[in-house]
């Protein structure tokens, strides 16, 4: 009954190490992690993890956590039961960075102030991810300069021109003059409730 060393605990140790160190441990470091005294034992378990598909070796032979272990699981549907012991009923596993930010080089975060987009479910305090240099399509939410102020608005084509509309009836429609300044297109929004 007392097995301190099984595949799952080793996987967890590796994931924890990678999360805090941003790299995989060396075999010598794994000796401490797994609480064994020989590198050959490490090799023994690593081989098992590779067989299970939890680990991979890339083209250069370096160890790599294969997606499954990284990121957090996306549950299929709750009706089928909650993931009590993980493993079950999991549709996919995603990294938030990869899921939310397609172009990290040209994106930035912005904290939302005001209630102009409340109708779209974007409320004060949210963070929005803005992608620079992207040409907005009809219906996209954009960060635009109106009267010297940067605000978020729906971008709507109307005939030959463009209208900026807030997701809040309290705000007027904006018919921008020439040279509409677009700071970027909102590609995602996130909100944190608890630490």
List of residues contacting DNA (CB under 7 A): 5, 26-28, 36-46, 48, 57, 60-61, 63
Compute the distance between CA of residue 33 and CA of residue 41 in angstroms, rounded to an integer.
12
74 binds, among DNA, a copy of itself, none (CB under 5 to 8 A by kind): a copy of itself
Give yes or no: 189 in active site: no
Give yes or no: 153 in active site: yes
Q: Least Å distance between CB 39 and a copy of itself? A: 16
Q: How many residues of this chain bind a copy of itself (CB under 8 A)?
A: 69
DSSP helix/strand/coil, 29: helix
Among 9, 33, 71, 174, binds a copy of itself (CB under 8 A): 71
Compute the distance between CA of residue 127 and CA of residue 72 in angstroms, rounded to an integer.
20
Compute the distance between CA of residue 152 and CA of residue 112 in angstroms, rounded to an integer.
9
On whether the CB atoms of residues 130 and 144 are closer than 8 A, the answer is no
22 or 111: CB nearest DNA: 22
The answer to whether 183 contacts a copy of itself (rule: CB under 8 A) is yes
Q: Least Å distance between CB 3 and DNA? A: 8
Q: Least Å distance between CB 26 and DNA? A: 3
Q: Kindly name the residue from 57, 64, 69, 153 that is annotated as catalytic.
A: 153
- Nearest of 158, 65, 92 to residue 83 by alpha carbon: 92
- Nearest of 113, 139, 138 to residue 128 by alpha carbon: 113
- Token pair, residue 35, equals 């609480």
Q: Kindly name the residue from 116, 137, 181, 192 that is annotated as catalytic.
A: 116
- The CA-to-CA distance between both ends of the chain, in Å, stands at 36
The answer to whether 166 contacts a copy of itself (rule: CB under 8 A) is no
Compute the distance between CA of residue 140 and CA of residue 127 in angstroms, rounded to an integer.
17
Q: Least Å distance between CB 73 and a copy of itself? A: 5
The answer to whether 50 contacts a copy of itself (rule: CB under 8 A) is no
Residues that are catalytic:
116, 153
């Amino acid at each position: 009954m007392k097995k301190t060393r099984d595949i799952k605990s080793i996987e967890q140790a590796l994931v924890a190490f990678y999360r805090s160190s941003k790299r995989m441990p060396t075999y010598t470091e794994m000796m401490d992690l797994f609480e064994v005294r020989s590198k050959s034992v490490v090799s023994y378990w690593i081989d098992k993890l590779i067989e299970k598909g939890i680990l991979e070796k890339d083209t250069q032979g370096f160890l790599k956590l294969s997606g499954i272990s990284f990121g957090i699981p996306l549950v299929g549907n709750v009706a089928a039961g909650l993931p009590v012991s993980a493993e079950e009923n999991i549709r996919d596993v995603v990294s938030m960075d990869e899921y939310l930010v397609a172009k990290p080089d040209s994106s930035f975060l912005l904290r939302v102030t005001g209630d102009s987009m409340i109708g779209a479910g974007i409320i004060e305090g949210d963070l929005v991810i803005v992608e620079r240099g992207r040409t907005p399509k009809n219906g996209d939410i954009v960060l635009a300069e109106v009267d010297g102020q940067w605000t978020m608005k729906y971008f709507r084509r109307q005939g030959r021109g463009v209208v900026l509309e807030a997701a809040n009836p309290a705000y007027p429609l904006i018919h921008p003059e020439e040279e509409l300044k677009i700071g970027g297109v909102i590609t995602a929004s996130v909100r944190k409730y608890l630490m």
